[in-house]
Structure 1
Amino acid sequence: MSGLDATVTALAEDLAARGAEIEAHRTLPDDLVSAFKKHGLFRMVMPKGLGGLGLPPRRVVEIVEEISYADAATGWSLLIGNIGNAFLAWLDPAVAEKLVADQPDILVAGGQAPLGQGTLEPDGRHYRLSGRWPFASGCLHSSWYMGGFIVMEDGRPKTDARGGPEMRVAYFPASAARTVDTWHVAGLRGTGSHDIVADGIRVPVEHTSVPYFGPARHDDPVYRLTAYNLLLTCLAGFPLGVGRRALDEADRQLRTKRRIGSDQPQIHDPLFQTELMARGTELDAARRQVLGTLDELLDELAAGDPGYPRRARLAASVLHALDTGRAAAMTGFRLCGAAALHDDNPVQRCMRDLVAGAQHVAFSADSRRRIAGALLGLQTTPLFFGV
């Protein structure tokens, strides 16, 4: 076992009993943030040229899966931190290198949805940016924020070469913005996913990028993926880990809970056995599909662009993993009966956390529509966060 593998396993073992504590804390505790930074776990997919670990994408999925199994909110915080840092790859390399040199433990939170507005100042070197970005997981322990915005000109959206509004992503110090305590939710309570707000701040043009359509500025194998598929690669381990934890917890509880009118534990009920078998087999198959498809796509991309239908396969496999993991958690919750209603029941937390994670825009109906169209060969030009 490598040093990183041993570290991840030790962290996961410690996390297994901290779910309620992390949920009550409403954000990732400082000791976990420090541990993740110390061992580079927020830099798993950051470009190697910026100090990233350069892990194989398959290993990233496995690590997120292992941490998410131990605690869903921590797994989510880990993967979101990696996504924020990964998108530094779309900045000019020299600019990104300086950011990282000035902040060796840089951690970026925020959102790329173009919910802000930016106006180019007369000097041509700064945008005046205002916006509010919700669901900024990890914002309380991040030193930098990112926010998507529409470029405004003469009070109207500026048009890009595609004929649509010009959209960019800005990166700015957390100290330049503010957070609004909005994270009072049903699931993923421990992720601190508050709103971040910028009120007319100045952002250098060089601290903005356009990841929606173009390639990253680094040649690490993972950056052969589009921004959207990179996002989904980071997300993939979450439903696999949380879904498996829900099934294992249900198995454990059913071994101690007695059947009505019987001395036998409920695990001996053939209906429960077949349900656990079915959901577990589906989850195993979904995991193999994600990892296999990811490996195949990276091999294909090394030889050239295989086209939209082939690239859409990875996105589709991660959506399938999300649906499968959510179904597993719902089954575990149902099989555990009324006992699962209690807040301190891990199965309930798995169910709530997976349902909350499924609300991410990457899993939305619009994303599914785009992926389906690409799979069928109906996508012929780059799309907003296309596959």
Structure 2
Amino acid sequence: MTTELAPRSTALDLETVCKTARVHRDYGERHSTLHPEVWQALRDSPIPAAALPVAFGGLQWPAGQIIDAVRRIALADPSAGWAAAIHAPAGAFTARLDPRTAAELGLGPGKPPSLIAGSSIPAGTAEPDDGHVRLRGTWPLVTSAPRMTLAVLAAPDPEDHATRWWWVAQDNVHVVQDWDAVGLRGSASCSVTCDTLLPRGHSVRLTEPAVFDEPLYRFPLYGLMAACIAAVAQATAEQSLAAFRELATTATPRHAAAPLAHIGPVQDTYAHAATRLTAAAAHVDSTVESAWKAAQNGAVPGAERAALRAAYSHLVQTAATVCQDLFETAGSAALHRRSPLERHWRDSAVAARHALVASRGRQLAGALMLTGTAAKDL
């Protein structure tokens, strides 16, 4: 995905994350969490501050730069990329907080950016309690749950029952070590439980305008999050293509006279897969560029929001199909651990099931395209 060049120091910081993630890539497969050195590299990198407002000590990068940073890390390790895909856009959540509340949550100039994670599934309850709100429940699939420093958990507003996102300090959540998915195993996307009192002001609605009227916060927030998920899927498929190329030069199927690379149907499958992925990624690039230009000039029109969600979903589904096709085409040669094709297949299948890029995202885009009705979470 195209983006403006980052400052040299930032590029070096991201490269440190990539190198560390690449070295410890197998650790996540065995332990269902990233290696401690990878978590530390992510924490020390620009990722937690990428979308954080400058007023809160953040970098406030352009949308394309955030997306590209996530893809770079995912090329080193999709699980580390997935963690980055959650933490990088999460800073934009804070753009809906007033400065005083942000300070209460430990956000501000001179303070280390929080590693923000959470759940958009309104799995808990928020009930009035002596001038505060008692938030309780269990939220599944919270990426980086054991390492996050600030949680954002969705629950209905006790006043009008619309969904709000409640800010909870790490000390007030309990992590359930239940992450045992087939792919993206290092992302540590565990469940969390919570039963705590919060000021009502420690919550936001993501469908409301941001406090800061800046291009990054006019860019669709759900679109930015979906774009980061798509960046991980794209990187996974790119790695799958690279792994297949390497395998195809040496693996010779039984009863074949030459390696896979010299077999006509295999050549056809590879060319089709590479072209589909390139086309889907190029389409995402063009929609991001168009929406970013709109955000720089004002509000992003509904049609462009729909185009973004449709393009992200298409890229993710294309990436999953590419990984599956290459895994199947490789035959028994892909079953060995020295070939990472089966891991790419598993990782891409898990990424494709995220709600932002699965059927719900496509339905929101299609609803606007067909009926002109724009949902608030488009």
TM-score (norm 1): 0.89
Supply the AA of the counterpart residue of 2:56: L
* Superposition RMSD in Å: 2.0
Greater mean deviation of Cα atoms: 268-277 or 2-11: 2-11
Q: Deviations over 1:264-307 (max 9, x none)?
A: 32111121112111111111111111111111112123333353
Counterpart CA distance in 2 for 1:182 and 1:270 is 45
SS at match of 1:114: coil
Specify whether residues 17 and 265 from structure 1 end up closer, same or farther in structure 2 by C-alpha distance, changes over 3 A only: farther
Distance in 1, matches of 2:274 and 2:23, equals: 23
User: 1:56-104: per-residue Cα shift (whole Å, max 9, x none)?
Assistant: 2212222211211221111001111223333122222332244224962
CA distance in 1, matches of 2:59, 2:261: 43
Please state if 1:170 is matched with 2:180. Answer: no
Identity of aligned residues (%): 24
Quote the offset at 1:7 in angstroms. Answer: 3.7
Please report how far the alpha carbon of residue 263 of structure 1 lies from its aligned counterpart in structure 2 after TM superposition: 5.2
**CA distance in structure 2 between the aligned counterparts of 1:207 and 1:173, rounded to whole angstroms:** 10
The answer to whether the aligner puts 1:122 opposite 2:130 as a matched pair is: yes
**In 1, are the aligned partners of 2:56 and 2:107 still within 8 Å (CA)?**
yes
Q: Which residue is 1:110 aligned to?
A: 118
Q: Contact between 1:250 and 1:335, CA under 8 Å: does it hold in 2?
A: no
Write out per-residue CA displacement over residues 132-151 of structure 1, whole angstroms, 9 at most, x where no aligned residue: 11000101111111111113
In structure 2, distance between residues paired with 1:258 and 1:282: 26
CA distance in 1, matches of 2:338, 2:50: 32
Counterpart position of 2:87:
81
Report the CA distance between 1:178 and its aligned residue. 0.6
Q: Secondary structure at the match of 1:260?
A: coil
Instruction: Work out the CA distance in 1 between the residues paired with 2:130 and 2:297.
Output: 45
Do 2:136 and 2:193's aligned partners in 1 also have CA atoms closer than 8 Å? Answer: yes
1:203 aligns with 2:211: no
The aligned counterpart of 1:267 is 261
Pair 1:21 & 2:27 matched: yes
Cα deviations across residues 101-140 of structure 1 (Å, max 9, x unaligned)? 49624112211222111112332xx211111110001011
Distance 1:9 1:280, change over 3 A: farther
Residue of 214, 236, 239 corresponding to 1:220: 214
Residue pair 1:222, 1:230 contacting (<8 A) in 2 also: no
Opposite residue 139 of structure 1, the aligned amino acid is: A
Match of 1:162 in 2: none
Cα distance in 2, alignment partners of residues 63 and 263 from structure 1: 43
- Tell me if structure 2 keeps the 8 A contact 1:145–1:173: yes
> What is the SS of the residue equivalent to 1:127?
strand
Q: After TM superposition, which residue ranges in structure 1, 4 or more long, deviate above 6 angstroms?
A: none
Name the SS for the 1:169 alignment partner: strand
User: Contact 2:10–2:46 at 8 Å: present in 1 too?
Assistant: no
SS in 2 for 1:20: helix
Q: TM-score, normalised on structure 2? A: 0.91
The alpha-carbon deviation at position 344 of structure 1 amounts to: 5.7
Conserved 8 A contact 2:277-2:319? yes
Q: Deviation string for 1:16-55 (max 9, x for gaps)?
A: 3532222212112221122222232222222222222222
Q: Provide the secondary structure at the position in 1 that maps to 2:146.
A: helix
Contact 2:82 2:187 in 1 (8 A): yes
2:52 matches 1:46: yes
**Counterpart-to-counterpart distance in 1, 2:338 and 2:116:** 31
The residue that corresponds to 1:136 in the other structure is 142
Number of the residue aligned with 1:186:
182
- Aligned partners of 1:25 and 1:190 also within 8 Å: yes
Match of 2:271 among 261, 264, 277: 277
Out of 102, 107, 114, which is 1:100 matched to? Answer: 107
Pick from 19, 38, 45 the counterpart of residue 32 of structure 1: 38
Contiguous gaps of at least 5 residues in structure 1: 153-157, 160-164
Q: Conserved in 2, the CA contact under 8 Å of 1:310 and 1:375? A: no
What's the CA shift string for 1:343-372, capped at 9, x where partnerless? 563111111011111111112323221111
Q: CA separation in 2, counterparts of 1:204 and 1:135?
A: 25
Letter in 2 for 1:202: L
Q: What letter corresponds to residue 206 of structure 1 in structure 2?
A: G
CA drift at 1:208: 0.7
Q: 1:265 to 1:7 in 2, by over 3 A?
A: farther
Secondary structure at 2:122 match in 1: strand
CA distance in 2, matches of 1:10, 1:263: 44
In 2, the alpha carbon distance for the partners of 1:109 and 1:7 equals: 21
Matches within 5 A, 1:323-362: 323-342=317-336, 345-362=339-356
Separation (CA, whole Å) in 2 of partners of 1:320 and 1:128:
40
Distance in 1 between the 2:144 and 2:154 partners? 17
Rounded to whole Å, the distance in 2 between the matches of 1:375 and 1:50 is 37
Q: Which stretches in structure 2 are left out of the alignment for 5+ residues?
A: none
Give secondary structure in 2 for the equivalent of 1:273: helix
Give the aligned length: 370
Partner of 1:155: none
The secondary structure found in structure 2 opposite 1:78 is helix
| 2:227 aligned residue | 233
Match for residue 258 of structure 1? Answer: 252
Measure the CA separation in 1 of the matches of 2:280 and 2:89.
Answer: 22
